[in-house]
Amino acid sequence: MAVMPTLGSESRKKKPNLSALAREFCLQYDRLKARSASVQSKQSRLGANQRFNASQEQLQSTMQYIFDLVHPSGTAPPIGKGLVTRWLVWT
């Protein structure tokens, strides 16, 4: 069961009664409290050592491919923190 729809009109109040909502919808109080504080569930957030999600990884590899195509040597430096600075110096 999705937790956020449970909050519905209660979340618009200044301070919803989370205990009553948890009992009414058979949810854990701690989970409801975390969601009301905008904490993401473990399933929806990135892993501990991941910088990018799947679509961002795809974008990064596509950008690297394009940079490799236009770089004089055929292999551009890897995309990183200094990407914009290196690109401006090179062009």
Task: Supply the pTM of this predicted model.
Answer: 0.43
For 34, the token pair is 């975390």
Q: Where are the domains of the chain?
A: 4-36, 54-90
Q: Which one-letter DSSP state was computed for residue 11?
A: G
Tens of pLDDT along the chain (91 residues) come to 555 555 555 556 578 899 999 999 998 998 888 888 877 777 777 677 777 778 888 888 998 999 899 888 888 888 877 777 777 777 6
Q: Which residues of 15-33 are buried (b: 16+ CB within 10 A; e: fewer)?
A: ebebeebbeeeebeeeebb
- The closest of 40, 48, 8 to 24, measured between CA atoms, is 8
